[in-house]
Structure 1
Amino acid sequence: MVKIRRAEAFESEALTNIAARSEAYWGYDSTFMKNFKRLYRVTEKFIIDNPTYAIVEGKEIIGFYGILSTETETSLEFLYIEPTFIGKGYGKLLWTHMVSICRCHGIKEIALVTSPQAKEFYSKMGAKYIGDVDSIVAENKKVPKFIYKIEK
């Protein structure tokens, strides 16, 4: 049985590892992955302070997402699935849940920056590609940025 629940602070390392395995799925080299793990570490503080949800099957976490709101924008900071579950609909379940949570919090728009390999997924979810931005993980690399308008 699959369910989505609020992530717990003690799960920060497990979520960080899921993010790293999910990103590594796309074949990035060791230098990229070292930077990724440092920059995309899910901290206990992030989980406590921000809407962060895990999708679980039984007791196993198979993916998660996290939303960050600042004074200037709300962004989807994390949305990662264990590689063995990629392409099986779990990302769509997390996306739908994330949109619902945004509605509950009165969020009208969410931004996200993603890897080029996930561009098609976010387009299918209805996010609008607004251009490429500089990657924070790799020098001289551009990555796609999207905006999703949340309707009532």
Structure 2
Amino acid sequence: MLIRAAQMKEAAFLSDLALRSKAYWGYDEAFIAACREELTVREAEVERRRATVAERDGRILGFITLEGEPPEGILGMMFVDPDAIGQGIGRRLFEHIIATARKLGFVRVTIHADPNAEPFYRAMGAIRIGTTPSGSIPGRVIPLMAVTVTGSQAADHATVR
């Protein structure tokens, strides 16, 4: 599997992947439609959001973004193709983005997590630090999670203090 920077020309594909991945959790069409704007990746944002893709045999299987500037960053988006969930792609993307955050001097990365993804982020070392309003659904709150990134790790894994 290749982990690489996303290309501007892939923005529409990444947006579609995000919507398909969100729908995997059983959300209805109205919910997905309400999320469309928030889950749209624009060409002009690909580089600024540090969009990174996981690709196998020329096929993009997932992507992740690391947003903000050190010392505090945000894992803005992380989506895996529904056909590839459970194959370790999310883990590889997460580990890569934490290693990238460490190299760039971030000390903490926060995550506005879908409730269905909270167990995954916990398994990756994130802790729940509260809740935050959904960016798409008025009145809905979602888990707010954080990973403390340390520079002394030999392996590219997150640690929580």
Q: TM-score, normalised by structure 2?
A: 0.89
- Name the counterpart of 1:140: 139
User: How many angstroms does 1:73 deviate by?
Assistant: 3.7
Q: Does 1:50 align with 2:49?
A: yes
Q: Which has the higher helix share?
A: 1
* Deviation (angstroms), 1:35: 1.6
Q: Contact 2:71 / 2:108 at 8 angstroms: preserved in 1?
A: no
Structure 2: gaps (5+ residues): 152-161
**CA RMSD of the aligned region, Å?**
1.4
- 1:49 counterpart SS class: coil
How far apart, in 1, do the equivalents of 2:113 and 2:86 lie?
16
1:16 paired residue number: 15
Which position in structure 2 is the counterpart of 1:128? 127
Contact 2:3 2:53 in 1 (8 A): yes
Question: Relative to structure 2, which stretch is displaced further, 33-42 or 12-21?
Answer: 33-42
**Aligned equivalents of 1:101, 1:71: Cα separation in 2:** 11
Matched, 1:30 2:29: yes
Distance 1:142 1:122 in 2: 17
SS in 2 for 1:39: coil
**Structure 1 runs, 4 residues or longer, greater than 3 Å off:** 70-73
Render the CA deviation track for 1:93-146: whole Å, top value 9, x for unaligned.
000100111111111110110110000000010011011221121122111010
| Residue ranges of structure 1 left out of the alignment (5+ in a row) | none
Q: Percent of pairs identical after alignment? A: 28
C-alpha distance in 2, partners of 1:88/1:13?
Answer: 24
Distance change in 2, residues 1:117/1:19 (3 Å): same
Q: Aligned-pair distance for 1:44?
A: 0.9
Compute the displacement of 1:70 (Å): 5.2
The 1-side partners of 2:49 and 2:133 are apart by 25
Amino acid at match of 1:97: H
Alpha-carbon separation, structure 2, partners of 1:100 and 1:60: 23
